[in-house]
Amino acid sequence: MQLTEDQILTLAPDESSKKSGKDLSNAAKWGTKGVNEFALWGECQGSGSKPYRTQIALNNIAFKCSCPSRKFPCKHGIGLLLLYAKNGQSFIDHKAPDWVTEWLNKRSDKEENKTAKKDKLVDEAAQAKRLQARENIVEDGINELLLWIKDIVRNGILSIPEKGAQFFGGMSKRLIDAKAPGLAGMVKNLGNINFYFEGWQSLFMDQMARIYLVIAAYKNKEGISSLITEDVRTQIGFTQATEILKEQNGIVDSWLVLGKQTTEEDGLVTERNWLYGTQTDKYALVLQFIVRGQGAGFSITPGMTLNAELVFYESIQPLRALIKKEIQGGENQLVKPFQNWEQVAEAETILNRSLPFRSERPFIIKNITPVQFDNSWWLADENHNLVQLKSKYKYLYTILSLSGGEPMNMAVLGKENRYEPLGVWNNSHYMMVS
């Protein structure tokens, strides 16, 4: 996978790593360096007596370095990859040393072990018993949540801002114990609402209604379609087996990476990668979970086009997907944007009709201009229809400087009446705004 310098810098965990990585992209910093079809490697002299050994797997851009840094990737990995992107012809050694070969073999063994585990026969009776036990625990947690919601409605919501984080945190932890992490997250989001914001009551009741819809659907799952049942189970926190999904036929396309959002909690990094299929006009969300200090399964950067086969999770409105395999070749295609906010509203209506508790989604919209109105910032289309920019959007001035007051094709993320830009097309080139 050949990356540009800008794409490589987006892999850096922070600004200091970017700067240090640039400093290390100098051939004089590396005593030895080499490349073959599988890996890139080099030795960089640090403060100790022995040079730091840095290696990068090229099939999916995975890093390893002997330096003591806890950042991932470290500055040596960024520097070596930048050097290769700028001056690949200087990597004349093509025979990997033992320490590189050993690392590649271990990675290969792990993949083989995963395959072997998948091929083992599953004790279906024991599996069904475990599933039923979890269903019972989840049911108990849902019943407690339902009583909690009814108490809030019975007592009214005016005193909710006085409850504090413990009120929501306690119920969220109870749902974690009940093996319903999805519902726990929805309850946690209730507590994250800005209660100093005018109109918080509507946001609060809207989220409460979504939680109640999930509960009601789960309790009446025998009467709904199998696809909606999967959506309900996903919202509660049940997972779909990726091994089974990967056996299905996926959708092959040239996927434009619209944006990447990264969050970290308790040492677990969550990547949300938003993709757009330039040939199929489909949107996709590819999640990746990374434990700090361990390698990522794949690395994709905003603005790149990934030629790949994606398999979508079962849903009445498929959005989340996994990368089954990357495909060589493929061509970049022109995007097919929505013409205005009215078309987006029509698409949102269809989505809400089939899945009223759905999460936010991306849209590509033609000729959008950020405008100020009534002391707030809005996104205007060519027909002067407005939708509100999400509050506390961090990159407003980046958008303003890129647009210069002129309309731009824009990729946005949101739902209903609030959105945030992910990226824009500037001189026919897509760029993420973060």
Query: Within this chain, do residues 231 and 246 fall inside the same structural domain, yes or no?
Result: no
Would 119 be classed as within a structural domain?
Answer: no
pLDDT for 274:
96
Q: Give residues with Cβ within 8 angstroms of 94, minimum separation 6.
A: 34, 35, 36
pLDDT for 331:
58
Would 76 be classed as within a structural domain?
Answer: yes
pLDDT for 258:
95
| CA-to-CA dists, residue 321 to 262, 272, 352, angstroms | 17, 11, 20
Would 336 be classed as within a structural domain?
Answer: no
Q: Is 220 exposed, middle or buried (0-12, 13-18, 19+ CB in 10 A)?
A: exposed
Would 74 be classed as within a structural domain?
Answer: yes
- Structure pTM? 0.71
- Bridge partner list, 269: 264, 290
Which of 176, 202, 236 delimits the end of a domain?
236
pLDDT for 213:
95
CB 145 within 8 A of CB 137: no
pLDDT for 197:
82
pLDDT in tens, 278-290: 999 999 999 998 8
pLDDT for 177:
95
Low-confidence ranges of the chain (pLDDT < 70): 1-2, 112-124, 293, 328-333
pLDDT for 122:
55
Q: Which range of residues forms the domain containing residue 67?
A: 5-114
- What's the number of domains the chain is made of? 4
pLDDT for 242:
86
Would 335 be classed as within a structural domain?
Answer: no
Would 332 be classed as within a structural domain?
Answer: no
